[in-house]
Amino acid sequence: MPKTSPVTLIHVSTQGTQALAQGPEHDPHLATPTGKPRARAVGLKFPGTPGAHNAITDVPGVEVGYRTLIEGDQVRTGVTAIHPRGKANPGDPVATGYHSLNGNGEMTGVSWIEESGTCQGPIAITNTHAVGIAHAGIIAWMNRYHADLTDVWLLPVAAETWDGYLNDINGHHVNEDTVVEALQTATKTQPDEGSVGGGTGMNCYHYKGGNGTASRLVEYDGTTYTVGVFLQANFGRRHELTLNGVYLGEELADDNPMQEFRTAPQGAGSVIAIVVTDAPFFPSQCKTLARRVTLGLARTGTTGSHSSGDIFLAVSTANAGAFSSKDPKNTKNQQTRAAYGQLNFIPWDAIDPFSAAVVQATEEAVANALIANEDMTGRDGHRSPALPRHRLAEILSRPERG
């Protein structure tokens, strides 16, 4: 199983924190592909064994793409695209479970997910007022690259969190082409984190937030499976913030311009989490995994907010072809397969390690979203400060924390 290289030096400067590690020049457990530090680079520690990149793309077949829009003083937004089975295979439904911790938000397609226990095609995440565009953009991409799958109808999954503090959310800056580009440029490599894609204008615990991801390896019956979590973090109040069990809300209470922003209620914003695993699960078991996101978020301090849309989706990419009588490789001819589908699944009494993996990866994904960030100023001069990594590293290194 992959091991994280130990941190040998943490250098603190006004430009941020750089983690220098033993071994390869780029350690994906310590830095994003663009060189931003991740949570482990500042001394945060997490249980469980991560995958090779400690990211949702460690799950075989998963691809993630971004389109980031930063223009002038007002535009701070974008789109994130996730392909559970990759760009080449969107027609094969995946077992899916949905959970809403608090419903002040939107994720399209959940009525069909609740009805069928499946979803089909890619997932897009963006800002609140662009969720309809994201839905239409998925259809546009499918029609362009997989027209054989759009003859009847599609029920895409598009989700949102609110970026109106930093972004001109009513300016219609996200369009269908934005969505199509995010979907088409998705790759299997380690995704960037922080202020990219749909997470560009987001805030978390009144610090600069955005995208975070993590993964865990779980062994069952001689096979090692991967559980990946990706989230768009835009939730929490500063006084709640807790990392690695260390309450930080009071010590890091200063420099909080969002505290004075009265247009939106404190704690507003939302969080969307996508869990993907290659372990075989029933849809009802996927729902169980989606609920466990709640516990991972709670480890970072949040108690939830009435003004937050906290909506989670979990999918299993196992059991390829099992949820349709049509062969996804021969959709043009609508060739049918055997009359009965068959599912392999992890027994219920063996699900706990997978639930734990979701909790662990969710907690780390939130921390990564916070750490892989810098200050951002946006709409009307609103400023969102980055979590001060040097101060966090100092707090974590205190003898009483050892």
* pLDDT, averaged in runs of 10, over the chain (402 residues): 38 36 70 98 97 98 98 98 97 97 96 97 98 98 95 94 97 98 98 98 98 98 98 96 96 93 72 98 98 98 94 97 74 60 95 98 98 98 97 90 61
Q: Note whether 186 and 351 are within 8 A (CB).
A: no
pLDDT at 220: 98
Tell me which residue has tokens 């979907």: 183
Q: Note whether 248 and 204 are within 8 A (CB).
A: no
Q: Note whether 328 and 149 are within 8 A (CB).
A: no
Can you give the pTM of this predicted structure?
0.92
Q: Catalytic residue among 270, 305, 316, 384, which?
A: 270
Is-catalytic flag, 284? no
Residue 80 has, within 13 A of its CA and on its CB side, a CA count of 32
- DSSP readout, 204-268? ETTEE-EEEEEEEEEEETTEEEEEEEEEEE----GGG-EETTEE-TTTT-SS-GGGG--SS-TT-
Q: Catalytic residue among 195, 215, 305, 308, which?
A: 308
In whole angstroms, what is the distance from residue 346 CA to residue 103 CA?
30
Is-catalytic flag, 5? no
pLDDT at 334: 52
Q: Is 335 left (phi over 0), alpha (psi -120 to 50) or beta?
A: beta
pLDDT at 332: 54
Is-catalytic flag, 116? no
Q: Catalytic residue among 168, 278, 310, 316, which?
A: 310
